[in-house]
Amino acid sequence: MAERMTRASTAKLVKNAFLEALKSNDYRSLEEFLIQKQIDVDTVFEVEDENLLLASYKQGYWMPSYKLQHSWATGLHLSVLYGHLESLKVLLKYKATVNCRPNGKAAIHIACEQANLDCVNILCCHGAKPNCYSLSGLAPLHFCSTKLSMPCAEQLIWKGADVNIKTNNPEEETPLHTVARSGIPEMVAFYVEQGATVDATNAHSETPLACAVYWACNIREQTYSTAHHLICRMLLDYKAEVNSRDEDFRTPLHKAAWNCDCVLIDMLLEAGAEPNLMDDNGCGPLQYVLKVTSVRPSAQHEICYQLLLNYGAARIYPPQFHKVLQSCYSYPKVIEVIANSYEHIKSTSKWRAAVPDDVFELYRDFYESLFEVCGNTPRSLKHLARCAIRRTMFNKCHKGIPSLLIPVSLKNYLLLEPEGIIY
């Protein structure tokens, strides 16, 4: 019994010493341990891993909190995590299992996530599988999700990684989906150049274009990403389908409208997006903008409405105009743009009730003009002429009106440019 305890204590001391050598990149000590066969090269250690750099779990499973703070890892995984190339080479020299996944990730996954090109090169040269999946269903290319990891992605593809490999999980995303969502234009260009399918769909029938459009808006910060805008421009230039539909029948234009992203709304409409396609609830892009106007304070709301209406989007059903006021009472320019898209629209008792008294006082001149103009009298001849021209051009207003030989101020008037008051 005493001898057995001594052996266990000795093994524990050796294991701790081996772990310390790994952490400090003391590769000479590592080699001594391995030469003397004091420890197996594939020994598994339990180490702190609060950021889950070493672990990967299947989606949809509950895990106790202590499991999410510690991970199992071999020396190979730790050498890659710390970027200790000398230790990595020693372990591989003594036949470390290059594709083992003690806690769901192989070393190649960690190398890609850490954007360590040297480790990727070394592992690939020793038999790391470029298309192997982590336990959560991600291939190495899916871990290349930052600009710094682009060299790793290049190396993986040159070593045989499938540029169109889908995640082995419920999302079924390609690497192009990953970088489109992450906002990395350089990697989008590289993947397409290497044969990535531009209109590949994930499990939700979303294309990379749809992903880039949706993630262009940081909802928490209320900011818009120019990198995502560039990716959308690139994908459209690569002939991505602008009217693709996801599982809820939403197009990329619906997603841009949900974000109140006037840059992408303009870009998509110019590329041929249909402004009147409806989702599975019967809502078009204009209704999407209307739903979120009050929660997108940094957006240029009136431009979103102008663009959609100038490209022929169906107007709000007149008896429901009070809902426009309920959603947009703090944005008079929006109300002006929508109201001016009708030849005439008659106010009801619901209109005034939809505008809080303090907001009415703040924008009194505008609201008084709105209620006066939308009474029982017809609109001005100038406005009726505007409506006649717009009706003739219909969904070509955006192109036809700028080409008219009239003053710029009149062009802006025809294109529903808000003036701050309704005549």
Q: How do the domains of the chain map onto residue ranges?
A: 12-129, 163-274, 301-423
Q: Domain 163-274 class? A: mainly alpha
User: CA-to-CA distance for 315 and 141, rounded, in angstroms?
Assistant: 45
In angstroms, the CA 158 to CA 410 distance is: 58
Rounded distance between C-alpha atoms, residue 7 and residue 109, angstroms: 35
Which candidate, 128, 136, 190, 131, places its Cα nearest to that of 161? 131
- Length of the chain, in residues: 423
What is the rounded distance in angstroms from the CA atom of residue 54 to the CA atom of residue 107?
9
The residue type of 3 is E
Q: What is the pLDDT of residue 332?
A: 97
At what angle are helices 150-158 and 185-193 packed, to 10 degrees? 10
pLDDT at residue 34, rounded to an integer:
95
Find all residues with CB under 8 Å of 357, minimum gap 6, and list them: none
Q: What is the pLDDT of residue 376?
A: 85
pTM of the prediction? 0.93
Return the pLDDT at 8.
80
pLDDT tens digits for 331-390?
Answer: 999 999 999 999 999 999 999 999 999 999 999 999 999 999 999 889 999 999 999 999
pLDDT digits (tens, 9 = 90+) for 200-209: 999 999 999 9
Q: Which CATH architecture describes the domain 12-129?
A: Alpha Horseshoe (1.25)
| Residue 273 to residue 33: CA distance in whole angstroms | 65
- Using CB atoms within 10 Å of the CB of residue 154, give its burial: 0 to 12 exposed, 13 to 18 middle, 19+ buried: middle
Residue 93 has a pLDDT of 97
- Two structure tokens written together for 43: 């020994």
How many alpha carbons fall within 13 Å on the CB side of residue 302? 18
Mutual angle of helices 117-125 and 75-82, in 10-degree steps: 150
* 351 and 323 Cβ atoms separated by less than 8 Å: no
47 beta partners: 71
pLDDT score recorded for residue 84: 98
Per-residue tens of pLDDT for the chain, all 423 residues: 555 557 788 889 999 999 999 999 999 999 999 999 999 999 999 999 988 899 999 877 666 776 678 999 999 999 999 999 999 999 999 999 999 999 999 999 999 999 999 999 999 999 999 999 999 999 999 999 999 999 999 999 999 999 999 999 999 999 999 999 999 999 999 999 999 999 999 999 999 999 999 999 999 999 999 999 999 999 999 999 999 999 999 999 999 999 999 999 999 999 999 999 999 999 999 999 999 999 999 999 999 999 999 999 999 999 999 999 999 999 999 999 999 999 999 999 999 999 999 999 999 999 999 999 999 889 999 999 999 999 999 999 999 999 999 999 999 999 999 999 998
Residues 6+ positions from 317 with CB-CB distance below 8 Å: none
List, in sequence order, the alpha helices (H) in 314-378: 321-328, 332-339, 349-354, 357-362, 364-373
Same fold, 12-129 and 163-274: yes
Please name which of 134, 136, 132, 110 lies closest in space to residue 57, comparing C-alpha atoms: 136
